Structure 1
Amino acid sequence: MSSDPGSQLPPVHPLVRNVLRLSLSVKEYKLLHEYAIKRSPTAVQGLLPTPSRFDAIVDTRDRYTEAAVRDSLRVFLVTGLGSKLVNLVSRRSQRGSSNRSISRVALLLSPELRLALSLSLVLFLHRTLYRFFIRLRAHLRTEDAKPFRERNPRVSKVLTSRYAPAVGASVAGFALGICPQTGLRITLAIYTATRSLEFLYNVLDKKGWLEKKPRWFGSWLLMPVSCAQLFHAFLFDRETIPKWFGSIVFKLSPGYIQSRPQGFPADLHWPGKYEIVDSLATIATLQWP
């Protein structure tokens, strides 16, 4: 009798095998199998394939690539369904307060699909590129690649750097260009830029490039600098700022941007909140006083 578990299995259709590969990993199936064995009756337990049999059925050849595709598909489905659900709930809540007709958008141009596709591609491309540059770096450091290093010293120095995989994998960030240009995209860009500055500061501090800095100088300064940049954009480039930021500014500054007082003559004009903000920008542009 053969000891190979795969030799005793009936032939499995390639489509079914690929679906199983992209649905569950062997480790995940093992956890589900243990949970099902504890919960299901005895008559059903014998019908469930064992983890070793499942491993033989899927016949995994490249676990890393399959895991990358599997996780990307999960991100795509969860993001797409989640954004669709949020959009549906928001439309239901606004149906009674607004009579505007909602125009239909083609599936390929829908914001939900573009957002899900963007995030899933970022994950898949990052993992794929990171693995590619890791392997390329390891190969270029071998003795067989010595002629290439001698012919291309600068290129070899860049590709064999320990930062090459991380920098090369960051190209996956261009997939965010598929994401629709909404407030979410702007918020992600601001958050990513701020976190990048924080990481850059931590690296410079760790390498000793900021040894002569004052004692009061620290990474916490990035917070006021970032808030100052946001407030500057709120005054001069309001279209680049998400609406929630303006709402927070108005909510936290009632003493500076006051509402129309009660008893104020109706025939007199009282400036609105955005008019006051525009006036501040105009005063700053005129360099007054």
Structure 2
Amino acid sequence: MEILPCASLAPYIKNYTIVTINQNLDNEVFYPSGYVDFIINISEGAAATIINGKRKDTPEIELLGHLTLPTRLTVAKGTSVLIARIYSHASALFFSDHVSEFTNYATDMYDVALNENRELYSRIMESKELNSKINILETYFLQQLKKNESQLKKVLIVKAINQQILFEQEQLNLPALAKHSGLSERYIQKLYLSNVGISPAAFTSVVRFNKSLQLVLNTSKSLTEIAYDCGYYDQAHFIKEFRKFTGITPSSSRSSLIKNDTDFQQAVNIGF
């Protein structure tokens, strides 16, 4: 189930999604999405995130930062989570910590702000209706937005550069981006590390990967066709980049989806 945010949050949060797992999942591939996910376990189910081979049990509230390393999920049947998917440019509006600290990591939000997040979780769990849970979460985000509004100018700059990268979608031309934005290349690099958590080059790679992933999962195009459609040098380059993010080949990903077409995959493995 997908729910859109209120108008005040729509520029910063893509959606809220409820995911309920109807079968045990073990080492399920989790694809880099280009978003930051704020995840609340609203059930008594258990889950774990394995990033680059390192396992971490999912806490009550978790922030899953930008992923550029192979990631797997292990989830028990019956687990339900509420996910707020935050646009790549917007994380600094909701979290005071340097955003790069969350990159390639599943952070227990109690380690970030114990009392604040424990109170948030208690209020969400006390509420029985889904709409009420969403309203409580939106109130939290609106409070964070007000607290960090000094970051808004930089966030809007990053958003504008992101839109240019999304438009190009193939190769990063940092000098051209700098000229277009009137900023120095060094400043753009700094903006991305502090507001997105990854470099402009890494973000571009994730954008290109997501374009290729949709073609792998939703079309019958050959890998060579997909490689050239997405701006890779050749099929070998495409496969290498795909494996860097996921640990598997595009062909394996395509076969896995056909074999295990779960609601979970449809709900959480959606990028741009």
Q: TM-score with structure 2 length normalisation?
A: 0.24
Per residue, is there more strand in 1 or in 2? 2
Q: Which has the larger radius of gyration?
A: 1
- Greater RCO (CA < 8 Å, at least 6 residues apart): 2
TM-score by length of 1: 0.23
